[in-house]
Amino acid sequence: MSRSDHGSFRHAIPAGDDRMRRVCGDCGFVDYENPKVVVGAIVTFEDRILLCRRAIPPRIGWLTHPGGHLERGETTEEGAIRECWEEARARISIDSLIGVHTNAPAGVVDIVYAATLEEPSFGPGPESESVALYAFDEIPWNEVAFPITRWAVERAFPDLARRRRAAFA
Ligand SMILES: [Zn+2]
């Protein structure tokens, strides 16, 4: 059953729980509102990084790494592979986990993989205006949509990130 199958919800602390939940007044169904999982990849081809310009809100025209919400029934790796195809028409192979980043106030858990573009073939899917490869030093950081992209790129390229920070210190 989903939320729409129930009657009117009220707020209550279910037995054995310790926080307020939305509870169906008819049957007692508890509508747990848990964080969303977002999966993505820092995709490289010959040391250059694949980034998309967003064609959808929020932040239309801004740069992001390919990623999106994990779907039920897929693994996080499968989700990252799917998102790279949907947003960047990129066939990737996953290399390693870059990291897990929690935005607790927003209720979002980002899981970002390092991945390799199998061949230099890519292009915009319906959610992207354009897709391109950038050398680390070419990335226009002031056009990057969300902090998670920079967090992941800097973790994927720690030496380059250190060198850049030293140059701007
Ligand atoms: Zn109900």
State the distance from the centre of ligand 1 to the C-alpha of 12, rounded, in angstroms: 14
State the distance from the centre of ligand 1 to the C-alpha of 24, rounded, in angstroms: 5
The pLDDT value given to residue 122: 98
Amino acid at 131: V
State the distance from the centre of ligand 1 to the C-alpha of 58, rounded, in angstroms: 34
- What residues sit around ligand 1, an ion, with C-beta below 5 angstroms? 6, 24, 26-27, 29
Q: Is the pLDDT confidence value at 2 over 70? A: no
Find the distance separating the first CA and the last CA of the chain, reported in whole Å: 56
State the distance from the centre of ligand 1 to the C-alpha of 30, rounded, in angstroms: 8
State the distance from the centre of ligand 1 to the C-alpha of 69, rounded, in angstroms: 27
Where do the domains of the chain lie, and which CATH numbers do they carry?
A: 1-33 (2.20.70), 36-162 (3.90.79.10)
Over residues 20-37, mean pLDDT: 95
State the distance from the centre of ligand 1 to the C-alpha of 6, rounded, in angstroms: 4
CB environment 51-75: b (16+ within 10 A), e (fewer): bbbbeeeeeeebbbbbbbebeeeee
Residues 86-127: tens digit of each pLDDT: 999 999 999 999 999 999 999 999 999 999 998 999 999 999
